Structure 1
């Protein structure tokens, strides 16, 4: 099986298209850094605090209050774009600094490394898109190019071939997710202020207020949740490539689920709570951290269990079909 996985690795990671995808991820981060220069208000987003941070924070809170009061006295309809951004950032920074002071924790800069790493999660849809493109062609390309017959004459069984390719899909999902967060870490280390402690104030999804958390366990959970989502979508693409034997169809249906899944879930959620039994309502586990689930009564454990069971079922069906299918034609 190792040689089969290695063969897939050589086929896909020696292709320019795969490296173009990875380069695109780097360019997205670089472009994001460049655009920040045109959308930053007057708030000192990179300011850090020293040993007398309590006194410094209190002084900043006083200055921010004065700035907010000054801008709030103006007609909101006549504020310039930059003034509107400055007002929003000042209000957010005022709440953030007040919360850190209340918790007696030294606050990081507004643009800090930890917050930047957490902001990587929304890019997971782009990562999923790239993995879908690869996973949707792993098996169907063999049929379309006629190389599936060459695989069948190998001493490995059909199930060995099937699961070797599926393990390659899982490995690719892991590589792309880790690569994305690794690039985020590199850009963050260069462009963001480093945090003074491992504690970070984040917005509570349910109340909208700040809450204090330990950063590294939170980041590990966010990354694991992102990996689960990518694996789910990659598995769907791979299973479709096995069942349909058509790359365009497998990729097209999977991409449709990626982009339209949340819209469908939100529409059904407005009609019935039975939406929780639909797979797309469960594959984004970060809804429980950065947002709200489709139905309030849904739990993290329910969605995780749903994903595991669904993955086992669809992979088992695809393995059975592949093992029994006649490939003579």
Structure 2
């Protein structure tokens, strides 16, 4: 099994696209740190006055809006700004290594897309290149072959995530030092709370790794079902960005059980949705979908007729 996985990694790394993904992450991190540390005139001694003005406008907007969602967002903003003013925590000029790594967390969406591309192609490419027959002629079970491909594709996604974290840490430490300057501030349970930025960053990256695992698995399963890399790539990416748009048109009883509506586990840690039952339900739904996808992939591949 180990040799199978090694061979899959060799084939994966022989593609130019695999190195492009690594190169892209490195370039974006370097570009971001350079643009972040270049300005030297961004010190603002009047940030408290600015936040007070923002709160003043937010309170005026509260009176003009009837939407509970909009009012809730304005109240959060006002509470956080007041907390910063009272505790002398400016909203900027606090760039440090951990804040930089947190900012680079936006790249995890790109890494998830990279994982989708790899997972959607790793099996179908064998069919399009005509090498699947040679692969199946070896005295190795189809399940082991499929498992090695699955592990390779998902592991590569995790490796890209680890590269993002480690390289951002090294670059951030070189330019900004390792000391954490400010806590992570968020609104939860009806009040403003603080969390260590290091704790927040590590937890955020761990939670986002679930996206890489699940969305990559969706692409892998769809590639087995349709034997088409295009559909296996397009559908998961559409669901990643389109599920929030489609959600209002779906019955609430149905939408709460859909996979992509339960992937945002961060809401249970950093948002208002501090509900242990909700977190447990989301985890159960994710696990059930995951088991179903893996079982379906292996069943279809073992019984697929290769001509």
The bucket for the TM-score relative to the shorter chain is: 0.7 to 0.9
CA distance in 1, matches of 2:167, 2:16: 19
Which of 53, 77, 84 is the equivalent residue of 1:96? 84
CA distance in 2, matches of 1:264, 1:2: 42
Task: Report what 1:233 is aligned to.
Answer: 215
Q: Secondary structure at the match of 1:280?
A: coil
Following superposition of structure 1 onto structure 2, how do residues 66-215 of structure 1 map, counting pairs within 5 Å? 95-96=83-84, 98-99=86-87, 110-192=94-176, 194-195=178-179, 200-205=183-188, 207=190, 210-215=192-197
The structure-2 alpha-carbon separation of the partners of 1:210 and 1:325, relative to structure 1 and needing over 3 Å to count, comes to same
The structure-2 alpha-carbon separation of the partners of 1:181 and 1:212, relative to structure 1 and needing over 3 Å to count, comes to same
Structure 1's unaligned 5+ residue stretches are 45-59, 74-90, 102-106
**Contact 1:96/1:201 (8 A) holds in 2:** no
**Contact 1:99/1:210 (8 A) holds in 2:** no
Task: Report what 2:282 is aligned to.
Answer: 303
CA RMSD of aligned residues (A): 3.5
The structure-2 alpha-carbon separation of the partners of 1:67 and 1:220, relative to structure 1 and needing over 3 Å to count, comes to closer
Residues 18-71 of structure 1, C-alpha deviations (whole Å, 9 max, x = no match) = 111111112222333355479997435xxxxxxxxxxxxxxx7xx654677899
Task: Report what 1:104 is aligned to.
Answer: none
Aligned length: 284
CA distance in 1, matches of 2:18, 2:219: 17
Q: Secondary structure at the match of 1:279?
A: coil
CA distance in 1, matches of 2:198, 2:52: 37
CA distance in 2, matches of 1:290, 1:260: 23
The structure-2 alpha-carbon separation of the partners of 1:66 and 1:279, relative to structure 1 and needing over 3 Å to count, comes to closer
Structure 2's unaligned 5+ residue stretches are 57-78
CA distance in 2, matches of 1:144, 1:173: 23
1:8 matches 2:8: yes
**Contact 1:236/1:254 (8 A) holds in 2:** yes
The structure-2 alpha-carbon separation of the partners of 1:188 and 1:264, relative to structure 1 and needing over 3 Å to count, comes to farther
Which of 291, 294, 300 is the equivalent residue of 1:321? 300
**Contact 2:154/2:213 (8 A) holds in 1:** yes
The structure-2 alpha-carbon separation of the partners of 1:146 and 1:301, relative to structure 1 and needing over 3 Å to count, comes to same
1:285 matches 2:280: no
Which of 262, 275, 284 is the equivalent residue of 2:244? 262
**Contact 2:51/2:81 (8 A) holds in 1:** no
Q: Secondary structure at the match of 1:136?
A: helix
Note the C-alpha offset of 1:324. 1.1
Note the C-alpha offset of 1:297. 8.9
Q: Secondary structure at the match of 1:310?
A: helix
**Contact 2:117/2:233 (8 A) holds in 1:** yes
Q: Secondary structure at the match of 1:31?
A: helix
